[in-house]
Amino acid sequence: MYAFEYHRPTSVKEAAGLIGQVEDPKFLAGGHTLLPTMKLRLAGPANLIDLGQIAELRGIERSGDTLAIGAMTKHAEVANAAEVKEAIPALAELAELIGDPHVRNRGTIGGSVANNDPSADYPAACLALNATIVTNRRKIAADDFFQGIFTTALEDGEIITQIVFPIPTQAAYAKFRNPASRYALVGVFVAKHADGVRVAVTGAGSNGVFRASEIEQALSGNFAAEALDGVTVSEAEMNSDIHADAAYRAHLVSVMAGRAVQTAVARG
């Protein structure tokens, strides 16, 4: 790790104020992506702005048809929160599938969404649930937010404050873990909303999280696993690595989509 200055603001305003004042800043949330990269000397920000003391960035709140989750809310909190389990059980289940207990008790939803790792789980939930990413500057629709591997609509120094999820009628997440890292090799989030079906896929795409239109179309007429019989996704846009090549990933997308729909339907 290279040396850095450490800042611990207690409000979003204070954190935002540091931007522009200090050189080469980086926000620190759970640190479960950032710190390993710094330890390996692959990142070396001069100033770390720890968001951990900002109370307004935490918490889970349901109001009407939406569930709002503060950016600094930890995966374990989402996994265990009664509000989440009741409103969007699929989201609690997704959080429970992230990493291991250490990761879930440190990593945050805001950090995961800001990072947009192509194998992270939350981006699939955001996209399928048509979430709104709220920052200290604006509100961004999930469809506009995720822009490819490790790339988002966030501007320099912009802070995610909240993610707001519309509550779907039915939803589920099916994850096929990378055997080694336990990130998603393929993760499929299916969600049935009053105005249609949205299906998002993480882990598989060579350009990061994406919506699977073939699957959405097949399910919009009939939200049932049988509707996916014979539905394939193209391997052209799929990622390929030592764990899974494009053909296998494309195949897993269909399989996991079917399993997610089964779970969603069974839940009723």
Partner 1 sequence: MTATGIGAPVRRKEDQRFVTGQGRYVDDFNRPGQTYAYFLRSPHAHATIRSIDTGPAKIMPGVVAIFTGDDLAADKIGGLICGWMIHSKDGSPMKAGPHPALAQGKVRYVGDHVAVVIAETLAQAKDAAEAIVVDYDVLPAVVDTAQATKASVQVHDVSPDNTVFNWHLGNKDETEAAFARAKHVTKIDLVNNRLVPNAIEPRAAVGEYDFGTDNYTLYTTSQNPHVARLVLSAFIGVAPEHKLRVIAPDVGGGFGSKIFIYAEETVCVWAAKKVKRPVKWTSDRSEAFLSDAHGRDHVTHAEMATDENGKIIGLRVHTTANLGAYLSTFSSSVPTYLYAPLLSGQYDIPAIYCEVDAVYTNTAPVDAYRGAGRPEATFVVERLVEKTARELGQDPAEFRRRNYITQFPHATPVIMTYDTGDYAASLDKALEIADYKNFQQRKQESARRGKLRGIGFSSYIEACGIAPSQAVGSLGAGVGLWESAEVRVNPTGSVEVLTGSHSHGQGHETTFAQLVSDRLGISIDQVSIVHGDTDKVQFGMGTYGSRSGAVGMSAIAKAIDKVIAKGKKVAAHVLEASEGDIEFKDGRFGVAGTDRSLAFGEVALQAYIAHKFSGQDLEPGLKEGAFYDPTNFTFPAGVHICEVEIDPDTGVTSIQRWTAVDDFGVIINPMIVEGQVHGGIAQGVGQALLEGAFYDQSGQLITASFNDYCMPRAIDLPSFQVGMTVTPCPSNPLGIKGCGEAGAIAAPPAVINAITDALGHEDIAMPATPQAVWRAAQKARMPMAAE
Q: Which residues bind partner 1 (CB under 8 A)?
A: 1, 3, 40-41, 176, 179-181, 242-245, 248, 251-252, 255
Asked if 209 contacts 118 with a C-beta cutoff of 8 angstroms, the reply is yes
Beta carbons within 8 Å of 268's beta carbon, 6+ residues apart: 170
Q: Which is nearer to partner 1, 194 or 242 (CB)?
A: 242
CA distance 5 to 89: 40
CA 30 to chain centre: 14
CB of 29 to ligand FAD, least distance (A): 3
Helix boundaries (H) for 32-117: 34-39, 75-80, 82-87, 89-96, 101-104, 109-115
Asked if 141 contacts 87 with a C-beta cutoff of 8 angstroms, the reply is no
Per CB under 6 A, does 58 bind ligand FAD?
no
User: Which positions from 11 through 30 interact with ligand FAD, judged by CB under 6 A?
Assistant: 26-30
Q: Which is nearer to partner 1, 37 or 80 (CB)?
A: 37
Cα-Cα end-to-end distance for the chain: 49
Q: Degrees (nearest 5) of the Cα angle 214, 218, 224?
A: 135
CB of 238 to ligand FAD, least distance (A): 19
For residue 253, give both structure tokens. Answer: 């997308």
CA distance 208 to 224: 26
CB of 34 to ligand FAD, least distance (A): 4
Selection from ligand FAD, partner 1, none that 251 binds (CB < 5 to 8 A by kind) is partner 1
Tell me how far CA of residue 57 lies from CA of 52, 72, 181, in angstroms: 9, 5, 28
Q: Which of 135, 153, 174 is CA-nearest to residue 267?
A: 174
Selection from ligand FAD, partner 1, none that 103 binds (CB < 5 to 8 A by kind) is ligand FAD
Binder to ligand FAD among 9, 70, 107, 168 (CB under 6 A)? 107
Q: Which is nearer to ligand FAD, 3 or 194 (CB)?
A: 3
CB of 121 to ligand FAD, least distance (A): 4
Binder to ligand FAD among 99, 105, 193, 248 (CB under 6 A)? 99
Pairing of strands 47-50, 25-28: parallel
Q: Which is nearer to partner 1, 136 or 178 (CB)?
A: 178
Residue span binding ligand FAD (CB under 6 A) among the ranges 62-70, 104-112, 210-218, 242-250: 104-112
CB of 60 to partner 1, least distance (A): 29
Contact footprint for ligand FAD (CB under 6 A): 26-34, 51, 71, 98-99, 103, 107-108, 110-112, 114-115, 117, 120-122, 159-160, 182-183
